[in-house]
Chains A and B, each alone.
Chain A
Amino acid sequence: MPKRTDIHRILIIGAGPIIISQACEFDYSGTQACKALREEGYEVVLVNSNPATIMTDPDTADRTYIEPVTPQAVSLIIEKERPDALLPTLGGQTGLNTAVEVARMGVLEKYNVELIGASIEAIQKAEDRDRFRRAMGRIGLRIPRSGIATTMEEAHRIAGEIGYPIIVRPSFTLGGTGGGVAYNPEDLEVWAKAGIDASLIHQVMLEESVLGWKEYELEVMRDRNDNVCIICSIENLDPMGVHTGDSITVAPAQTLTDREYQSMRDGAIAIMREIGVDTGGSNVQFAIHPKTGEMVVVEMNPRVSRSSALASKATGYPIAKIAAKLAVGYTLDEIRNDITGETMAAFEPTLDYCVVKIPRWTFEKFPETEDLLTTAMRSVGETMAIGRTFKEALQKALRSLEIGRHGLGADGRDGVERGERAETPLTVTEIEQKLAVPNSQRLFYLRLALKAGLDLEAIHRLTGIDPWFLHQIQQIVAFEDDLTGHQGGHLDREALWSAKRMGFSDVQIAHLTARDEDTVAERRRELGIRPVYKLVDTCAAEFRALTPYYYSTYEEENEARVSDRKKVMILGGGPNRIGQGIEFDYCCVHASFALRKMGIESIMVNSNPETVSTDYDTSDKLYFEPLTKEDVLHIVETERPLGIIVQFGGQTPLNLAVPLARAGVRILGTQPESIDRAEDRELFQAMLHKLGLEQPPNGTATSVAEAAKVAERIGYPVIVRPSYVLGGRAMKIVYDQADLENFTRLAILASPGHPVLIDKFLEDAVELDVDAISDGRATIIGGIMEHIEEAGIHSGDSACVLPPYSIDADLAAEVAAATKSMAAELGVVGLMNVQYAIKDRRLYVLEVNPRASRTVPFVSKATGVPLAKLATRVMLGSTLAELGLTGETVPSHVSVKEAVLPFDRFPGVDTLLGPEMKSTGEVMGIDVDFGRAYAKAQLGAGQHLPVAGTVFLSVEDRDKPALVPVARQLAEIGFAIVATRGTSEFLAASGIANRPINKVSSGRPHVVDAIKNQEIQLVINTGSGRREQTQRDGFEIRRAVLKYRVPYATTLAGAKAMTRGIAALKERALSVRPLQEYF
């Protein structure tokens, strides 16, 4: 059937900000869909609040709304754009939920918008656990016994019937928020309550436990002719009990016979039909009893998902693109397989390699949370590796993780996972505990367990991990001994070849044979042991592949097709983590686009399956490889690019700049020495001194004693941090010596071999972020952003506004001049980011990064200047003047960026902001004035700003005077005010009517009771408070607010901005405007 001609304009809903369980995979799928639909001649209207996406680039869709992904905003867009159809299956759970709500509001019906891809009926059948259970019953598939509860009484009754342990799953949530395992009625009390709260429809499903069963996923496609194909099978290494997003997964399934696989396939197809997904991709999860083979259905998602992104990258089959084409009427046999160019999309990809995905966790960011994995997802990113064997892929994935490991241990870093350098052996009991409870380091404990002599049977009993995987791991670990046998002796061909085929990195081999990495590499070259590159081609070489999508392995035949064109290699950023996310991928993708436009071959290297950069047609060539010196050098040796771009992918490629340059690789743009000069404190200070610029008083220390001396000299409070770390990891403001000593110890650990930096903390300063571009002679300011939260809050966690609102022209000129002089001095060619603080009209330079920053996409969207593309051209020799960039663009509209924080995923963690970055993503609000732009940013970030109701105020003493005007404005808008005693008295004395309310520690009813009773609509609560009681009181409030989704501000600056936003909303209702109309 050909495409539909009765629809012309299609609305796509994006997933909004990056949060845990919704990362760049939805930019990847959404971008693919936009491209696919426009290719077919449809007009695409897009809504997404996330500026760091390729999908929100003004030329990806026809009409791009960077607006909150909320039912209200989407309704306004529908009213304005009158699309013929809405495609809701590409924006993750957020997109799907928003579409369901818009439909429920009657908006689709009113404006005659057809839902394509999946009907409301199908979505609800898949998502409502009770309906899903009944649907499975109709097709003869078993799902774990279960019951639905909306009250605690029901929960206890059902649990009594099914028995413990029992799984608690809230309906309609993301990544299983609020889900968990209850082993007894006491646990149930906790989990069921949390689940009912977290569920959008206040309902939980209690489910028979299938803990320890083998877990599988199938990615399924269906077209309107009822043709169904399985794109990929995935087997989880971690058995049931760990969220699939937190599981190490392998494609294809490894331990199923064809009979079992086919019956799972039959099940998946029957489910697609029963649920009624008309067209597109879905994900179906199964559990299999390891001893009997009994199969149960776990769940299905009637949309593209994280797993479908993984499946696309693992197979080469572009699920989102095909899903979009199916949604407009094509059938699978009408769509060509882009990879082969000759066969059709109606087939099932087959792999001739093994794919391993490992999640990337950031427990180190949330020390208050225990490192354990449950049915609620905690990881913030993932890495994927491809090898010809599982062992090779596993080790490649581990060294791609950016956790400082070079494979499955044996890299001289053992013990680091326990926060210690020394290799104090763990007791067997300790190891057993770490095996029994899933955690982010379990793979390394598996190795330790084998080293400690635990047998596989015992390990299997403790972990539930299938013996097949355990044997693979055992083979890797056993091979270590083969290598240690070569200490001091000759490294022969046989040993090296076998090691490389098992995925051992040169660093591991060096460690095991007591050599250094370069010596091992040298020896390999002597022996001619080099990796070859094989193709990901969807068909296991049955057909010739057109797209050059490669992975490395150690085999006989090399398939790399090296052209003699001019080419440039771009290093990506590896797995998403806090501090390094989609923003850097955005820059890398832009670099690739710019190169292709210049007629230069673009070669992308990255290991993150969620991204646009690893889409098979983003670059001329894609190497899906770990970003390590060894792996990158191998590609360089094969491709011989004219240069390599390291400044776009964040810290990961930057860390490789010096070693790569030393190995003779040409780094394009700003040179590694300049990067070093900006990172090295002493060199940096000398430079500032030379330029007559100032920085806060500071010093460096390599020991705790030295640190104390420095702090003494510059005076407390001080900020302590290690050098060479992105995202403010291990960074803290300390107020006294005891704190300082504790923290310095940790900081030394986080960045071994590098000094700890100690800066004077400038309290109440205004902080600025500046992005600039330079061609080596001229420097142009890309944008100046003013942070809304005061200095001391990590720039990645702070909201910011462009253009700035509180600095005058003189200061702005000073900032520009300082930026330009530093760019010139550092010889910046490409992008640069500077952070400044202004206190008492004095400008202090906080930090200079001669590379793309996290804010580049935001600035580009706010100003309409594609900084990363321009920077790419500059790096290849163009001047800014040639590119037509002659001055700063200061837009007349206002753009606000707000950070999105993952606190709801980490119970027990305080939501206060600090110098350590904790946000996972960001949203953008764009409008004619600050209040409206800020309000949109808040709505986009999930803060449902009220325009009436009661506000709760409780601030530190030093914030009280400044609170008065905020309180007054809120009162004028019509808010009733309640406040804790001190704040209440202060406000009363200032003539602001309010009602006092108890703190938690002052008896009941108290403020948390009021929050639970929904008597409070807005919370302003500051108190980085150093007094323990204040902190605890504040903590209770902040956690309650999070749980009951009450909008809140934890800084006074934030409160002021929020009040302006509320005032703006009160004055005139939200309105929407596409990006294309701003420029």
Chain B
Amino acid sequence: MMKALLALEDGRTFSCRSFTGPGEAAGEVVFNTGMSGYQEVLTDPSYRGQMVTMTYPLIGNYGVNPEDVESDRIQVAAFLTREYQAHPSNWRAERSLADYLKSQHVMGVDDLDTRALTRHIRNAGAMRAVVSTTDLDPGALVAKARGIPSMVGLDLARVVTSQAIYRWEEGRSEPLKASETVLDQRLWRHRGRRPSVVAFDFGIKFNILRCLETRGCEILVVPAQTGAETVRALEPDGIFLSNGPGDPEPVVYAVETIRELLGYRPIFGICLGHQLLGLALGGRTYKLKFGHRGINQPVKNLVTGRVEITSQNHGFAVDLDSLDRSAVEVTHINLNDNTLEGFCRQDLGLLAIQYHPEAGPGPHDAHYLFAEFRSLIAGR
């Protein structure tokens, strides 16, 4: 255990210690209120560039296992907790959280008044910060925090997206064969038997791919910068736009691609994908003060009148008033703050959901949306 200091850009500092050895990390500090699911959080690409603090104080209890991952690496910049648990207990646990973090050189911090930090972010907003064991000088660290780039205007999808197109089959990714050099509809192995879906990877979570596959889809995952003509060449039955980190606005290339594809095939967007769809339809996005991150967010489905408890992870949102309400149907709103959580356009076959129906972590209340996407495809 090493003494550490967390410094925020507004000058506030918190004493803490590292449970992963010496190091320094920087990023935007955000909090997540889920009481379970830290391994999924760590590996969710949407957290790229962020230091995540868990509001639940005891972290590491059930260790780390090979299954509960949302990508092939730890994505967070650093992990901030109140009391690290060095002795995990769970029948699936294979290693401790500290080992896991250390193996990927990600800093784990504990002994931090995480509630004080959370309250500070709630009041002052998510902000840039640096945590360090090597530099314990508050002034210097605060200065460093001010030096890192702001999340606003940052295109992180470009950073986390896969470099090449790949298949998702039987619960894992599979690179295209060397022989498969032509990107056209011959790539589909189950053409006609299963709906084929092109999934844009802006930082896609594995659980989305698992859910699409469970619903019978065959999936090709394509890099964020993939153009509309490539998609058309693949002749998919449906298009999926994934979640991802950062600000949607600078992801202009994707917005343009989406605009070109509107009406071509049914499109389902989740999280960043939802925001990009909003932009493509002429809407605006804005940064929330401290975002929605947790697995207890109530969302009302305005079509059924029912409430879903949802998994969320977003710092930006689509401005409800910026959408053309004569064309766009608002389908979901957040009951806590009435922000937009989902919309659709029947005429274009669009389905956009701000939260995470795939869960991982979180409740399964919104799994039905994958079935809706399938029906949209079937309806064409």
Contact = CB atoms under 8 A, between A and B. Distances in A.
A350 interface: yes
B35 interface: yes
B104 interface: no
A543 B82 contact: no
A30 B34 CA distance: 31
Interface stretch (A222-230, A425-433, A793-801, A1002-1010): A222-230
A293 B67 CA distance: 14
A389 B55 contact: no
B370 to A, nearest CB: 16
Contacts of B82: 388-389
B61 A468 contact: yes
A58 interface: no
B195 interface: no
Interface in B32-69: 33-37, 39-40, 55-58, 61-62, 65, 67-68
Contacts of B89: 255, 466-468, 471
Given A262-B361, A466-B89, A557-B116, A256 B36 contact: yes
B61 A254 contact: yes
Interface stretch (B222-230, B234-242, B257-265, B296-304): B296-304
A354 B58 contact: yes
B211 interface: no
Interface string A324-367: 00000001110000000011101111111110000000000000
A332 B305 CA distance: 11
Contacts of A346: 298, 300, 307, 309, 335
A contact face: mostly helix, strand, loop, or mixed: loop
A539 interface: yes
B245 interface: no
A226 B362 CA distance: 19
Nearest to B89: A468
Contacts of B295: 258, 348
A975 interface: no
A861 B114 CA distance: 48
Interface string A76-98: 00000000000000000000000
B57 A347 contact: no
A652 B78 CA distance: 47
A225 B15 CA distance: 47
B6 to A, nearest CB: 11
Contacts of A254: 58, 61
A229 B90 CA distance: 25
Contacts of A255: 61-62, 89-90
Contacts of B15: 556
A555 B56 contact: no
A354 B336 CA distance: 24
Interface residues of A, number: 57
A290 B309 contact: no
A389 B296 contact: no
A40 B49 CA distance: 49
A574 B34 CA distance: 32
A344 B336 contact: yes
Contact of B335 (A343, A354, A390): A343
Given A256-B62, A262-B359, A555-B113, A541 B55 contact: yes
A765 B65 CA distance: 72
A556 B14 contact: yes
Interface residues of B, number: 53
B177 interface: no
A257 interface: yes
Given A354-B58, A540-B33, A557-B113, A227 B122 contact: no
A958 interface: no
Contact of A557 (B67, B115, B306): B115
A365 B234 CA distance: 79
A344 B65 CA distance: 35
Contacts of A292: 91
A265 to B, nearest CB: 6
B290 to A, nearest CB: 8
A525 interface: no
Contacts of B359: 262
Contacts of A227: 306-307
Interface string B183-219: 0000000000000000000000000000000000000
B14 A258 contact: no
A542 B309 contact: no
Interface string A248-275: 0000111111111110011000000000
A290 B91 contact: yes
B55 A258 contact: no
A291 interface: yes
The interface centre, meaning the residue of B40, B83, B115, B294 with most chain A CB atoms within 10 A of its CB, is B115
B362 A262 contact: yes
B57 A293 contact: no
Contacts of B307: 225, 227, 229, 331-333, 346
Given A468-B88, A557-B113, A348 B296 contact: yes
Given A555-B113, A557-B113, A252 B296 contact: no
Given A257-B65, A257-B68, A258-B362, A541 B36 contact: no
A641 B36 CA distance: 40
Contact of B40 (A258, A265, A347): A258
Contacts of A388: 57, 82-83, 115
Contact of A291 (B34, B67, B91, B294): B91
Contacts of A291: 91
Contact of B87 (A265, A333, A467, A559): A467
B297 to A, nearest CB: 7
A253 B58 CA distance: 11
Interface string B8-38: 0000001100000000000000010111110
A65 B335 CA distance: 40
A665 B89 CA distance: 46
Nearest to A555: B113
Contacts of A349: 296
A348 B15 CA distance: 31
B338 to A, nearest CB: 10
A333 B14 contact: no
Interface string B110-128: 0001111011001000000
A936 interface: no
Contact of B68 (A226, A253, A258, A559): A258
A534 interface: yes
B55 A350 contact: yes
B70 to A, nearest CB: 11
A534 B363 CA distance: 28
Interface string A896-910: 000000000000000
B345 interface: no
B95 interface: no
Contacts of B91: 289-293
Contact of B83 (A260, A333, A389): A389
B33 A347 contact: no
Nearest to A331: B307
Nearest to B118: A541
Contacts of A256: 36, 62, 90
Interface in B275-317: 294-298, 300, 305-307, 309
A349 B295 CA distance: 10
A276 to B, nearest CB: 18
Given A468-B61, A555-B115, A351 B37 contact: no
Complex A-B, nearest 5 residue pairs according to Cβ-Cβ distance, in ascending order: A258-B37, A557-B116, A258-B361, A540-B55, A468-B89
27 contacts: A225-B306, A233-B35, A252-B35, A256-B36, A257-B62, A257-B90, A257-B92, A258-B361, A261-B36, A290-B91, A333-B298, A343-B335, A343-B336, A347-B335, A348-B363, A352-B33, A354-B57, A388-B57, A388-B82, A468-B88, A540-B294, A541-B115, A542-B55, A543-B122, A543-B336, A557-B119, A559-B119
Given A227-B307, A258-B362, 16 more contacts: A252-B56, A254-B58, A258-B34, A258-B36, A333-B335, A346-B309, A347-B297, A347-B298, A351-B56, A352-B33, A352-B114, A389-B83, A540-B55, A541-B115, A555-B113, A555-B115
